[in-house]
A = this chain, B = another copy of it.
Amino acid sequence: MHCQHRHTHERQELAALTSRLRREDRKITGPRAAILEILRHHPHPLTNKEIFSELPEGECDLATIYRAMQMLEKLGMVQRFDFGDGAARFELVGEGNNGHHHHLICTRCASVVEVQKCFPEEVEREIAKTNGFTGVTHRLEFFGICPDCQK
């Protein structure tokens, strides 16, 4: 309301997401729109429980979130990440983007930084070739102590 430009921008993004669902013959439901809205406003991966608690009171069941994330992952609209704490995390992926990237996570406060650097392609290719594997990819996350937690 107080910023027409930004408001329009956000509305378009949500529309892009829902149109992507429509294109795949998926229904735009209240819970799904609410979940996308939350993901859209978070730059880092969220657990299903975190999404659940961000949702307005009784907006949607936890099981529905689990099912929604499974579907969004299958459509390539979210990327699943594993920080090693036993709960899957999901992050929205832009169209025409495979979502492959990494994170730097504080082991004290769990704060997260997006990391664009990736494992060197040529080394990965060498690992694949050496062992006769095809379609090789990787899962990689960094862990350390963030600036705040060092104080």
Contact = CB atoms under 8 A, between A and B. Distances in A.
A97 to B, nearest CB: 20
Contacts of A142: 124, 127-128, 133, 136-138
Contacts of A136: 104, 142-144
B127 A140 contact: no
In the complex, the count of this chain's copies comes to: 2
A117 B144 CA distance: 21
A66 interface: no
A121 B138 CA distance: 17
Contacts of A138: 140-143
A133 B117 contact: no
Contact of A133 (B104, B123, B124, B127): B104
28 contacts: A82-B82, A84-B139, A86-B86, A104-B127, A104-B128, A104-B136, A113-B131, A113-B133, A115-B127, A117-B123, A124-B142, A127-B142, A128-B142, A128-B144, A131-B146, A131-B147, A133-B142, A133-B144, A133-B145, A135-B145, A136-B142, A136-B143, A136-B144, A137-B143, A138-B141, A139-B140, A139-B141, A140-B140
Interface of A: 82, 84, 86, 104, 106, 113, 115, 117, 119-120, 123-124, 126-128, 131-147, 150
5 A-B pairs with the lowest CB-CB distances in the bound complex, closest first: A136-B144, A133-B144, A132-B147, A140-B140, A138-B142
